[in-house]
Amino acid sequence: MEEGSFAETTISMTSSLGRCRIKRTAFMAVLVVLFLPLRPVPAVHGSEGDGGQPNLTTAIQQVAKQNIPAVVHIEVSEREEIADPPTPFDDDPFFRYFFEPPKKTPKKFERELRGLGTGMIMDPEGHILTNNHVVAGATRIEVILADGTTFGEESVKRIGMDPKTDLAVIEVQAGKALPHVRFGDSDRADVGEWVVAIGHPRGLSQTVTQGIISAKHRQGITDPSTYQDFLQTDAPINPGNSGGPLLNLRGEVIGVNAAISSSSGGFEGIGFAIPSNMAVHVAHELISHGKVERGWMGLKTQPLTPQLAQSFKLNFQKGTLVGDILPGGPADAAGIKRGDIIVALGGKEIATTEDLRNYVASTPVATQVTATVWREGHTRDLTVKMGSQEEEAKILESTVKDRLGATVRPLTPNETEKYDLDSEGGVVVVWIDPAGPLAQAGFEEKDAILQIEDEAVDSVEGLAELLGEMPPHEKVIVLVVDHSTNETGFVSVEVR
């Protein structure tokens, strides 16, 4: 079970792993707006009372009966390489003389980790939606249906995974149509609405629990670099529930159970589910393309505080303030300027910076949307054509190439381990201009850049942003790792 800090408690991913608990920031995410129409499951007759409202005396029974056949148990195993630490007497000649330890012992050994989670069958073809953290890194995946049918590794196909939303799609080759869930509109879910969770907490198959939606639009719960717009629920979910459905009383999936806030490791009344609208959009992208293609505008925004709203003569405190524009990006082409306040996008109100980020990410590339901005005491509409993150990468690469005479990429986990770095981040030089600033300072290909002045370089985007703020011929101090010696040191570089 993976964890991250949350106030005095922890945010726990609700898959169950037979391993030591790893202190790590949990990652969740969100994409809202787009809806993938899936083939509906016939409604269960008698589940609703007069006026089309659910009959509360039998609703949970009907929801369970309708959906349990479409909820699967996922068992995974993962091989992990562990360093074999030396004993304190390895170099003691007296110890070696009397006890004759083995002359050669392996420096590393492998161990197998086992875990379990939940998934839901999305369509008759056998596509299964679950959490990324359930299947990521697994060397073997086994899926068990409610009727006991088991699909081993040879019958399970990995379709796609999206760490930014903590969602994944796998597929089982059943050779026949399978029972499946149907999805509802999570935007229409209300606080106080009854919900039902189905899953396999701690390996207890086909467990059904109930509660209500406690809150909507929870953000800042997990890794800030991910997309978040959680439904909060008090329906009991525990380790092993990850990837299971959160359903309304009409039997529609409105969320994917993903995490809990807990000081004990078990459920304490605060659970989080990824909204179905986001989950369906991401699943569609993974099934269609094997990855998620996200929109991009090319701007940086900041929260709109009451003081800022007053200074911009805004009579309401909703929107997000544009702090910077990437030259050549979609926002720049649309005429959006630094100091504009974006209050709506595509007709949808933008109340926070997170709202903008989530909307942009869930908008298809090349889509034209209307951006409503507050500028000089008035609103005005501008047309933005959504770019792609591939376009962003090209612009960022061009910035780094122009200023440093090099191209870079993010450090891999293996390189982070090789250089014995304390945290992820940094970039590695993959090409260098012999006449460029880095080459003149003594850099070589495969060297890693960790920091410029006092700012950590956590990504290619972060490096490009730092360089974009520097005047021509600025001399800066760069923290670098020499790839040939693994030694870290500071080097002075004059940017172009």
Residue positions annotated with a catalytic role: 133, 166, 242
* Cβ-contact 356, 301 below 8 angstroms: yes
Structure tokens at 175: 């050779």
